[in-house]
Amino acid sequence: FSSSNELYQFEGAMALTNLLTSSEELRGRALQGGAWNLSKDLLFSDNEQVQCAGLEVMCNLSMSPEVLERFVDGKASVELQLLGAFCQSEEPRASIAASGALAMLADTPEVAERIAECQHCITGLLKLLESQDGNLQHRAMVLACAVVEASAEAASPVLEKVKVRLAQGFSSSFARGLAEELVKENA
């Protein structure tokens, strides 16, 4: 999907997004073919739908051990900043894909520490915690739990925002349960 035609870029990225859910072998082949960098390039498109499609590819590639290794080794600081920035997007597809990638990656403690050190990621997380969307609340709370566990410095503002959100209520019962448990464990 390196075509300059935005429709082809969008359709190619959407097709790849769907294919990437099928197997680890396919994700590996896509990475060997340069899918990570190509999808990252789409984030700089002027077309918001192309950006979203690129983020969705990156999110699905985040399940891959090769991608996780890049984040663990500290070779993905630009990607962390981009994902954190897109968590703040007003476009729901963009923030869902970006937060989904971060939530999956944060399951690894070394990556959770890197996320906690990334100001764009923390700012994005705090914005996600304001969302009324249950999907975003779920991702935000998974990410919040990982960040609080990874970093005492980042924990304070995140916990405060979680407490405020808990008082306001969650539309996602899963997110509410995580928030209650997180606040209880850090009381």
Tens of pLDDT along 135-162? Answer: 999 999 999 999 999 999 999 999 999 9
**Single-letter amino acid, residue 117:** E
Residue 112, both tokens: 């959770």
More confident residue, 115 or 1: 115
What mean pLDDT value characterizes the chain? 95
Angstrom CA distances, 78 to 16, 87, 168, 174, stand at 22, 14, 34, 31
Q: What is the DSSP string of 76-141?
A: -HHHHHHHHHHTT-SSHHHHHHHHHHHHHHTTSHHHHHHHHH-HHHHHHHHHHTT---HHHHHHHH
51 Cβ partners below 8 Å, 6+ apart?
42, 43, 44, 45, 86, 91, 94
14 pLDDT more than 50? yes
In this prediction, residue 4 has a pLDDT band, given cuts at 50, 70 and 90, of low
pLDDT at 1: 46
Tens of pLDDT along 41-88? Answer: 999 999 999 999 999 999 999 999 999 999 999 999 999 999 999 999
100 pLDDT more than 90? yes
How far is Cα 64 from Cα 25, in angstroms, rounded to an integer? 9
Residue 63, both tokens: 């399940």
pLDDT at 187: 87
- Only one residue has tokens 């197997």, namely 23
